Homo-oligomer: A and B are copies of this chain.
Amino acid sequence: MEPEDRGRVCTLLHAGGTTRVPTLQSVLRSRHAPLRDTATTAPRWQSFTQPLIRQRVANRPPCRNWSSISTAFGSGLCGDWFPFAVHSFEVRQSLQEVARSHTLTTAAPNDVRRASEKALEVSSVTAAAAANTTAPAPHASAAAPESCGLVKPQNVILFGAEDPLQLESGKTFGPVHVNYETYGTLSPAKDNAIFICHALTGDAHVAGRRTAEDRKPGWWDGFVGPGKGIDTNKYFVICANVLGGCQGTTGPNSIDPQTGKQYGPHFPFITIADIVRVHKSLVEYLGITKLLAVVGGSLGGMQVLEWAARYPDSLGGAVVLASGAKLNAQGIAFNAVGRRAIYTDPAFCEGNYYDHAEKPRFGLALARMIAHITYLSEQSIELKFGRRLQDRESLAYDVKQETEFQIESYLHYQGKRFVERFDANSYIWLTRAMDYFNLDASYGSLENALGRSSARFLVVSYDTDWLFPTSQSLEIVRSLISARQHVTSAELSSPHGHDAFLIDSELPMLEGLVVPFLARVQEGMRDAAVATDGAVSQ
């Protein structure tokens, strides 16, 4: 077994309001024999993968047998997850296998759920049973993945004068130029489309290269492509630059047709819901009624949640990575100081800088430097840079040396690179949309927001992500459970903090969850389609 096949897994057992505290042995046994539920409350099982005691055990040698694991880890109740009982163990087996079984153990067939909302009765499927399913073999065992090759950016104009975009603020806006890319082939039944929502400073260019000379491929090339996590041999993948962005979709740096000049500060206030409205319109323009899934991390994850809430029957699966149903106060605080850095740059000129030679590059770079710290973990910064010096062997004892430590030089480099590709107004508009996002407030409650959707949910967090900590994912998971929705959730172990879902080395873990999840979603959608066809033909 290869090292990357090992994972530490914690199973979260939720028994319909009754707390069950099974012994470690019983949890381990359940991996080798079908789960038998003898409780009278007909519990619904939810699974939760996570590394236990996280980094604390990172340096310990792998346990040689279950007995030693039992001694080492013991058990405990986590108040955060109360009334969940948590048991943990290190699994020396393929993470993909675990993920596949997890996805299946949480699968409550749609018809069962809908037929019997009150008396929820779900059969549990174990790893042993899962081995006999039709879930596809994970990519790890397949041939080496390829790239999407050359991809062509596409454009469409939506929300023309006769059908403007109704913004959440109450205003109307249009037209909206949308820059997007697609990968793979749309099936004749148009049932294999996956929409990817990019994060704050991403764009539509997910995978492949735009020209043969491109030095770098798209931002998620490691995860999207033939044979990859989101397999473009199977799925038709769409990604669009967000409304308010600066990579081709209409944003503050676009020309306002009414004035012939950039919108600048006159660009309307936008929200996540507005961004999703534009995406949905694009999907309709492409002739797709129901997406196989919507996938996104961070700000992209917010879009996924909004999508499921706003268009509950338009997606089969919702994959929410390193995100939350709202930004917490600390997140608002970091966004605020980032914007403040831009506002106080004299070159910002209240957003009217497009005609000027000098742009608010110092402010924008500083905003990025601040934000970048929040994307990393203490652990990853320490490992990558520590207190090592840049270009020196000893301390300079000179305050003018602004990039004496490697971490300083790295942040400066990140700031400088960011300024070359991003617009300061877009940064302000999009971070404010992020601040405003609050699914709970918008729909009365999270249960209301997410309870109407027919989608299955996959909610993934990373243990070192402190911008969107696991507690925020758990809030979503709890609401989904409370609303009796299908949810598989996982806290993955990674040193890379919030950025983990974008880091190549971390993608096999994510793949282990996403590949079987998408397969299960597709299976469910096809079953439903067959049932509908049958009903029609009768």
Contacts and interface: CB of A to CB of B under 8 A. Distances in A.
A128 B435 CA distance: 54
A50 to B, nearest CB: 13
Interface residues of A, number: 75
Contacts of A343: 402
B332 A407 contact: yes
Given A74-B74, A78-B53, A269-B399, A378 B330 contact: yes
A57 to B, nearest CB: 4
A53 B74 CA distance: 13
A387 B329 contact: yes
A438 B381 CA distance: 17
Interface in A321-363: 326-330, 332-334, 336-337, 339-341, 343-346, 362-363
A298 B436 CA distance: 34
A363 B387 contact: no
Contacts of A466: 378, 466
A392 interface: no
B169 A382 contact: no
Nearest to A386: B329
Contact of A328 (B369, B382, B411): B382
A362 B336 contact: no
Contacts of A386: 328-329
A407 B373 contact: no
Given A366-B344, A387-B438, A378 B328 contact: yes
A435 B402 contact: no
B329 A407 contact: yes
Contacts of A265: 399-400
Contacts of A169: 397
A337 B59 contact: no
A76 B387 CA distance: 32
A333 B373 contact: yes
Contacts of A376: 330
A381 B408 CA distance: 27
Interface string A410-441: 01000000000000000011001001101000
A233 interface: no
A212 B77 CA distance: 53
Contacts of A59: 79, 82
A225 to B, nearest CB: 33
Given A169-B397, A269-B399, A341-B366, 7 more contacts: A55-B80, A57-B79, A329-B407, A330-B382, A336-B369, A339-B402, A346-B346
Interface of A: 21, 53, 55-60, 71-82, 168-170, 265, 269, 271, 326-330, 332-334, 336-337, 339-341, 343-346, 362-363, 366, 369-370, 373, 376, 378, 381-382, 384-387, 395, 397-400, 402, 405, 407-408, 411, 428-429, 432, 435-436, 438, 466, 469
26 contacts: A53-B76, A53-B77, A53-B79, A56-B80, A56-B81, A57-B79, A58-B79, A73-B76, A73-B77, A74-B75, A76-B76, A327-B387, A328-B378, A330-B378, A332-B407, A333-B407, A333-B411, A334-B373, A337-B366, A337-B369, A340-B369, A341-B366, A344-B345, A346-B346, A397-B436, A466-B466
